[in-house]
Amino acid sequence: MIWTALVAMQLAAAAPPLMVSDGHKSVRVATVASANGPMLRADALAPMLPIDVHHDSASSYTIEIWGARLRVEAGVAMVKAGDDVYPLAAAPTVDHGRLMLPLQMISEVFPVAVPNTRWDVTSGQLVVFNVGSSAVTMPRAVAQNGGEVARAPRPNYDRPAANDSRLPPVPTKHFRRTIIVDAGHGGVDNGMTGPLNGGPRIYEKDITLAVANRLGAQLSGRGVDVVYTRTADTLIALDDRGRIANRANGNLFISIHVNAANPNWKDPVGARGFETYFLSEARTEDARRVEQMENAAVRFEDSPSKIDRDDPLSFILSDMRQNEHLRESSELADIIQQSLGKMHPGPSRGVKQAGFRVLVTAYMPAVLVEIGFGTNAREAAFISSPAKQDAIAAAIADAAMKYLDRYEQRVNGVRAGSGPAR
């Protein structure tokens, strides 16, 4: 009877459900109204997120999702994620042994503390990025880089229980490595189509997605946290791709694209090769061509943000946050070109600069890789081959690791050098 009364109370107090979607499917998660806003069962998120709720002691719980560890206490309106503390709209509660969380924790804390999640304000739903291919994107073991320890230790789902440490995270000693992998185009935006003179038809959006997924898998295998801007055939606004990157606090942003020859060239069909761009004003006619091609995706977006047609880049170049990454970005682009040169049959077209919108909003070293010309039948076949896609992904992953190693050495060197000098 008590039970019946409780159910009745809960039904009466039902609030609109939380929608969680991953581009493939959406699920509704029931919420219950409380004085401080809607609450929901933490474990009800399990169908969409690899969530693990540990009951640590009487009132404290640890929630693990993709390596992020969120610590909450029943009755205390805050959540700890690593070294960060976030206030909660309502204190977590325990109902029939189930941990209940305020909806606000999902909408406000998850996007900043949990990888691969984004709160879509307009639709009021939690968007999850890499659920569609969990085999590819599930973070792997910790400490693969010479004993390096991630700031937020990632769970190893294969680890024996005896090793399963519930101890507090090890303090930061090294850099946590997060790389944002961006598959160009998607949804209604096919990107380029080719080849020009016959051969199996390709769509850029399919190639970029395949290579991006492989790149992510390669990076995960090297112990890096990977955040994808998309894992399905969906259109993500160019500016949103950068915002996703910033929210994830990435170290690098790598955007994958397929090139297309200008029909006015002397031999458009014959154009081949790979090139890597970093953000700047377009320097050459050819760079402007690629810039216009890749920026054209804006026309597919519902409400493209305003672009100053006269000088679209003036505001970017004056933005110190991005400027400080130009040198790093060009170095990363250079290493990627060298690495691709070891396996790619096409000529290296070099490191180039252009004002890609997709790179503008990513406040971190950011590059855009044109992995080949889809207009050339031979190269279209090359970038369509799963084996070659793996090889391209491995080359880019090698380059990213090399870059990060160099960067961390540089930063550590500066720190080590400044110590004794004082």
The nearest distance, CB 256 to Zn ion, in angstroms, is 8
The nearest distance, CB 361 to Zn ion, in angstroms, is 17
- Residues 114 and 247: their CA atoms lie apart, in Å, by 10
The nearest distance, CB 379 to Zn ion, in angstroms, is 15
Tokens 């999702």 — which residue?
65
Point out which span in 34-42, 245-253, 254-262, 321-329 binds Zn ion (CB under 5 A). Answer: 254-262
- Residues 143 and 402: their CA atoms lie apart, in Å, by 17
Looking at the Cβ atoms of 82 and 191, the one nearer to Zn ion is 191
Looking at the Cβ atoms of 241 and 257, the one nearer to Zn ion is 257
The nearest distance, CB 145 to Zn ion, in angstroms, is 32
Looking at the Cβ atoms of 153 and 346, the one nearer to Zn ion is 346
Contact at 8 Å (CB) between 112 and 247?
yes
* Footprint of Zn ion on 109-138 (CB under 5 A): none
Residue 175: how many CB atoms within 10 A of its CB?
Answer: 16
Among the listed residues 80, 222, 257, 289, the single contact to Zn ion using CB under 5 A:
257
- Residues 166 and 80: their CA atoms lie apart, in Å, by 15
Give, as one character, the DSSP assignment of residue 108: I
* Footprint of Zn ion on 311-330 (CB under 5 A): none
The nearest distance, CB 65 to Zn ion, in angstroms, is 32
Looking at the Cβ atoms of 139 and 191, the one nearer to Zn ion is 191
User: What are 261's two structure tokens?
Assistant: 């020859």
* Footprint of Zn ion on 364-393 (CB under 5 A): none
If you write DSSP's letter for every residue of 328-373 in order, what string do you get? HHHHHHHHHHHHHHTT-SSPEEEEEEE--HHHHT--S-EEEEEEEE
Looking at the Cβ atoms of 38 and 194, the one nearer to Zn ion is 194
User: What are 82's two structure tokens?
Assistant: 């690593």
Within 155-244, strands assigned E span 178-183, 193-194, 202-203, 225-228
- Residues 325 and 333: their CA atoms lie apart, in Å, by 12
User: What are 121's two structure tokens?
Assistant: 């304000």
- Collapsed DSSP state (helix, strand, coil) of residue 74: coil
The nearest distance, CB 420 to Zn ion, in angstroms, is 49
* Footprint of Zn ion on 327-366 (CB under 5 A): none
* Footprint of Zn ion on 294-313 (CB under 5 A): 294
User: What are 233's two structure tokens?
Assistant: 């055939």
Residue at shortest CB range from Zn ion? 257
* Footprint of Zn ion on 139-198 (CB under 5 A): 184, 191
Looking at the Cβ atoms of 152 and 360, the one nearer to Zn ion is 360
Handedness of CA 319, 324, 327, 331 (dihedral sign): negative
Looking at the Cβ atoms of 191 and 355, the one nearer to Zn ion is 191
Looking at the Cβ atoms of 111 and 184, the one nearer to Zn ion is 184
Number of residues that bind Zn ion (CB under 5 A): 4
The nearest distance, CB 189 to Zn ion, in angstroms, is 9
Looking at the Cβ atoms of 182 and 225, the one nearer to Zn ion is 182
The nearest distance, CB 192 to Zn ion, in angstroms, is 6
> Cα–Cα distances in Å, from 234 out to 128, 247, 362?
13, 20, 20
Point out which span in 124-132, 291-299, 343-351, 403-411 binds Zn ion (CB under 5 A). Answer: 291-299
Residue closest to 283 by CA, chosen among 200, 355, 365? 355
Point out which span in 20-28, 84-92, 249-257, 346-354 binds Zn ion (CB under 5 A). Answer: 249-257
> Residues in the site for Zn ion, rule: CB under 5 A?
184, 191, 257, 294
